[in-house]
Amino acid sequence: MKIQFVAGLAALATLAAVPALAQAPATAPAMAAAGKLSVETTPIGDIWANPKGKEILIKEAPMLEQYADQIKGMTLAQLAPMSQGAIDDAKLKSIQTQLDAIK
């Protein structure tokens, strides 16, 4: 299982290097206006840049730390289907609840 997960993340890292042509990137002002971190809309790199957000990610999904540079432009919701079950809906909800508690 661990080998599959690592292989999945390695494949994900390759995909993360390819620009998402069909998606318009979120604008910084729009994200700043929202002010809240979200598993759906906030890039992992932005969550990682917030000390409390980083703490949550390390606690809930420690395997992300070694791939942080490669997946920083993706959201957790985008990453979840490629995580081979390591980040499921329950994990996303748990992370979102904790992110919502950040003041």
Residue 80 has what DSSP assignment?
G
Contact 23, 101 (CB under 8 A): no
pLDDT tens-digit map of 62-95: 999 999 899 999 999 999 999 999 999 999 999 9
Q: Which burial class, exposed, middle or buried, applies to 77 when counting CB atoms under 10 A from its CB (0-12, 13-18, 19+)?
A: middle
4, burial (CB in 10 Å: exposed 0-12, middle 13-18, buried 19+): exposed
First to last CA, the chain: 36
> Facing residues of 69 across strands?
none
- For residue 61, name the pLDDT band (cuts at 50, 70, 90): very high
Instruction: State both tokens at 22.
Output: 């069909």
Q: Write down the pTM of the prediction.
A: 0.68
SS3 for 75?
strand
For residue 46, how many other CB atoms are within 10 A of its CB? 18
Find the range with the poorest average confidence among 2-16, 27-41, 44-58, 85-99: 2-16
